[in-house]
Amino acid sequence: MLIDIVANKPFHTFYLEDLKENKIDFELGKQFDLAEGWYKLVIEYPGSKLKIQDIRLNDIDLSFNGMLYTGWFQPVSGERTSPGTTLYTQGQYEIWVHTNTGVLYSEIYESILIEDIGTDLFEKYMHTVDKPLNIIGEGYPSTVKGFFEHGHGPKWWRKDSIVTPYKSLDSSVIADIDKNKVHEEMQSMCEYITDSKYWAFPAPGETIKGGRVSARSSPYLPYTELDDVPGEELKKLCECIGLKRLLCITLQTQYPGEAFQPHVDEHKEIETKHNMQGACSFVLDLSDNSDGHCFKVAKAGLIPIEHGTFFNFNYCHATYNNSEIVRPLAILFGERDRDINWYLN
């Protein structure tokens, strides 16, 4: 691998960071060995304004077609700036690169419209980094262990579109919701159902204790109107997050060490399929502290579920309870009050 950086003045602190957050030093303009894959290139602020003019990866200049502007400036305090090739205060320029520039170009061009490169990408796109998570020990199926241990790397996604992997809610949206009440109401809606041994896995040496409580767990008609939801706090939650009527009302419970098989929720009902696109399924951890409740969406990584998130269940996903407490998860989907972009990018 060869990396060279052109700037308006000398600078000294730069390095690569792999998906496991290992720091890799190198010399500019000199070949060095590097395992194939994604790396974050970091250039730190040198003490006075620095303008990055170009970055060369092997024989490719990233200034070509503005690829340089898929990076951003991350100040020590404050929001990321995109485009961000000027370092004007304490912070660093960051850009994700691949050892195979063909992979880099294909990923960018499939994710971002050319006309948007050079604009503030964070207005129209979200950026995620799926990192390998070595959190699952031995004794679990290789599908579960491998799903969490593999990191796809960085990716740009069009916001509010059919490709968006998830959309997290601000904590203020459900600030008036009593999670304990929602949990109690959902527990009373249906008898406990133990998850199938083909889908749910206990901690090694244990038997599966978790399961589901479902009033509805189906994409099929008819809808459940909010007035018919058997729970005032649950109804209030639906109104707060913009769900107008429901197809799914499910409580999933995971005990410590339990995992769920990676899967995709396939929905073929024509009358409801348009509501099942993009970030469509709402998930909310109903415990007081969601630390260790790992919900991963393939290619997007772990998603935040403490304050509620709509995620795209058309992507492969799985959960794992990496904590010592029981994790109840509310799962709701149906007709939402939203606008969605039906284009791929």
Per-residue pLDDT tens digits for 158-184: 999 999 999 999 999 999 999 999 999
Reported as a single tens digit per residue, the pLDDT across 285-329 is: 999 889 999 999 999 999 999 999 999 999 999 999 999 999 999
198 pLDDT band, cuts 50/70/90, is confident
DSSP assignment, residue 226? G
pLDDT at 238: 97
Reported as a single tens digit per residue, the pLDDT across 127-167 is: 999 999 999 999 999 999 999 999 999 999 999 999 999 99
Torsion angle (degrees, nearest 10) of CA 48, 49, 53, 55:
50
- List, in order, residues 6 or more apart from 109 with CB less than 8 Å away: none
Give me the mean pLDDT over the 256-260 stretch: 97
pLDDT at 37: 98
Closest by alpha carbon to 299, among 130, 111, 106, 108?
130
3-class DSSP state of 170? coil
DSSP assignment, residue 254? E
Listed range (110-119, 187-196, 229-238) with the worst mean pLDDT: 187-196
Where in the chain are all domains bearing CATH 2.60.120.330?
Answer: 166-336
Mean pLDDT of the chain: 94
Contact 216, 248 (CB under 8 A): yes
Give me the mean pLDDT over the 183-193 stretch: 89
Reported as a single tens digit per residue, the pLDDT across 203-257 is: 999 999 998 888 888 778 899 999 999 899 999 999 999 999 999 999 999 999 9
Does residue 345 surpass a pLDDT of 70?
no
Closest by alpha carbon to 313, among 293, 333, 327?
333
pLDDT at 160: 95
Contact 132, 150 (CB under 8 A): yes
3-class DSSP state of 285? strand
pLDDT at 229: 92
Reported as a single tens digit per residue, the pLDDT across 16-44 is: 999 999 999 999 999 999 999 999 999 99
Does residue 74 surpass a pLDDT of 90?
yes
Sign of the torsion angle spanned by Cα atoms 87, 91, 96, 99: positive
Angle formed at CA 258 by CA 253 and CA 263, multiple of 5 degrees: 80
CATH number of the 166-336 domain: 2.60.120.330
Distance of alpha carbon 286 from alpha carbon 234, whole angstroms: 12
3-class DSSP state of 167? strand
Give me the mean pLDDT over the 62-81 stretch: 94
Give me the mean pLDDT over the 60-85 stretch: 94
pTM above 0.85, yes or no: yes
Distance of alpha carbon 153 from alpha carbon 194, whole angstroms: 35
pLDDT at 212: 87
Distance of alpha carbon 53 from alpha carbon 51, whole angstroms: 6
Give me the mean pLDDT over the 92-110 stretch: 97
pLDDT at 127: 98
Distance of alpha carbon 116 from alpha carbon 339, whole angstroms: 21
